[in-house]
A and B are shown apart, each in its own frame.
Chain A
Amino acid sequence: AQKVTQAQTEISVVEKEDVTLDCVYETRDTTYYLFWYKQPPSGELVFLIRRNSFDEQNEISGRYSWNFQKSTSSFNFTITASQVVDSAVYFCALDTRDDKIIFGKGTRLHILP
């Protein structure tokens, strides 16, 4: 069965600190896709990244970076030099061959000024 675990329910950091959000997934498929989405206080869901299971290269986009490690079934998300606007709920999601896209329970991130 497919499963996504985001063990950190809530995290608070002071602005400008770095923060890492953890995502651990379970699947028996060899081909799968991983995603991160952001849900700011306004409620909309914003796509951040999509990564396929064959691409283990880390990705960096501005202050955001993602570390994909198949050996530990993890796809962690790091925000460098956090800002108050980064305060949101962040979801990790898994898409496997059965076309179900399953989400973790999310991590609520508070960036304190």
Chain B
Amino acid sequence: NAGVTQTPKFRVLKTGQSMTLLCAQDMNHEYMYWYRQDPGMGLRLIHYSVGEGTTAKGEVPDGYNVSRLKKQNFLLGLESAAPSQTSVYFCASSYSIAEDSTGELFFGEGSRLTVL
């Protein structure tokens, strides 16, 4: 049982390059999230999705785009990478318990991105 899988695990980009981080979950979860973790800043929500075909902005969405074309996948795109986007990115998924109620987050192992 893989749980939540993120690819790639590490990536180095040059300023202005684009890339996509893939998050895949095999638990049939409705909810998926992308966070970034920076020293002293905790986990900040970039974008999230409450179901296939839906996405919404989180706390720090600028410079990122997302897509949820399939329920099991949540893609995070950087169109033109900037050094400020150097971070560790975590994907997470969760299940619906009841209306407006989600269970705990299941996290991927993280993806370390460096933008030079």
How far does the alpha carbon of A95 sit from the alpha carbon of B110 in the complex, in Å? 21
Report if A104-B90 is in contact (Cβ < 8 Å); known contacts: A33-B101, A33-B102, A45-B105: no
Closest beta carbon of chain B to A25's beta carbon, Å? 13
Closest chain B residue, CB of each to CB of A99: B50
State the CA gap A101–B100 with chains docked (Å). 12
CB distance from B112 to the nearest CB of A (A): 9
In chain A between 57 and 113, which residues have their CB closer than 8 angstroms to a CB of chain B?
91, 93, 95, 97, 99-106
Q: Are B102 and A47 in contact (CB under 8 A)?
A: no
B interface size (C-beta, 8 A) = 28
Assembled-state Cα–Cα distance A6/B42 (Å): 10
In this complex, what residue of B is CB-closest to A52?
B101
Find A95's partner among B42, B59, B88, B102 (CB 8 Å cutoff): B102
Contact A100 B104 (CB under 8 A): no
Pairwise interchain contact A101-B101, C-beta atoms closer than 8 A:
no
On chain A, the residues within 8 Å of B44 by CB distance are 103
Contacting residue for B48 out of A44, A45, A100, CB 8 A: A100
Encoded as 1 (CB less than 8 Å from any A CB) or 0, chain B from 31 to 62 comes to: 10101000011111100101000001011000
Q: Using a Cβ cutoff of 8 Å, how many contacts connect chains A and B?
A: 61
Most chain B beta carbons < 10 A, residue from A33, A99, A100:
A99
Choice from B50, B100, B106 contacting A31 with Cβ under 8 Å = B100
The complex places the Cα of A44 from the Cα of B108 at a distance, in Å, of: 8
Is A27 part of the binding interface, using a Cβ–Cβ cutoff of 8 Å? no
A102 adjacent to B107 (CB under 8 Å): no
The answer on a CB contact under 8 Å between A47 and B109 is no
Query: What are 24 A-B contacts defined by CB distance under 8 Å?
Result: A6-B42, A9-B40, A33-B101, A35-B104, A35-B105, A43-B88, A44-B109, A44-B110, A47-B104, A50-B104, A52-B101, A91-B42, A99-B50, A100-B45, A101-B33, A101-B48, A101-B94, A101-B105, A102-B59, A103-B43, A103-B44, A103-B45, A105-B40, A106-B43
